[in-house]
Amino acid sequence: MIRSRFGTFRGLVRLALSYPQALFHLAEERRPDPAEVRRLVFVCQGNICRSAFAEVAARSAGLRAASFGLSAASGRGAHGPAIAAAAALGHDLSAHRALDAGDYVPESGDLLLAMEVRQLHRLAADPRLADRPRLLLGRWTRPALPHLHDPYGLDDRYMAQCLCRIEGAVDALVKGFPGARLS
């Protein structure tokens, strides 16, 4: 059950630890004015699973979206199991190419949406991104999950579970940030 729902025991522990960090505002979130958000920018570690899928799902939902990884190899394709799990949900990740944080060009109206609390800390420590609004994507999952554990190299069932959670969060973002909708 842990492998299919949380990826690993470490994923479950990180999820448990992320609740008090989010609750007591220790997660380095910087709330945006929803009316000023023009583009949703999804952030994870390698930009080949979670953030890549979130970007594709957001674009499919009619939102302006981008993604990058904090330690990505720019130009790398999406992870094979992520491509397969995305296809099962009706999304095509085959054309995705990873983007590293250093290659990301911020735009006015960007909202950074991270998968993990520690990623928010890294964004806050980056002088180029420290003043940008940033939140945990898991705030929009049902139930809210402030830690969306990295599915890279884990059980295919967890990959599917993780991408389903992200898809649900993206559906909620459509209502929360109408300024990010494509014209």
**Residues assigned a catalytic role:** 44, 50, 150
Measured between its terminal Cα atoms, the distance across the chain in Å is: 42
CA angle, corner 110, sides to 107 and 112, nearest 5?
130
CA-wise closest residue to 149 among 55, 50, 22, 67: 50
**CA separation for the pair 96, 3 (Å, rounded):** 26
Return the structure tokens found at 26.
């220790």
**CA separation for the pair 163, 83 (Å, rounded):** 10
143 cis-preceded (ω within 30 degrees of 0) = yes
Number of C-beta neighbours around residue 70 at 10 A: 21
CA angle, corner 165, sides to 159 and 167, nearest 5?
100
- Containing 132, the helix (H) or strand (E) segment is none
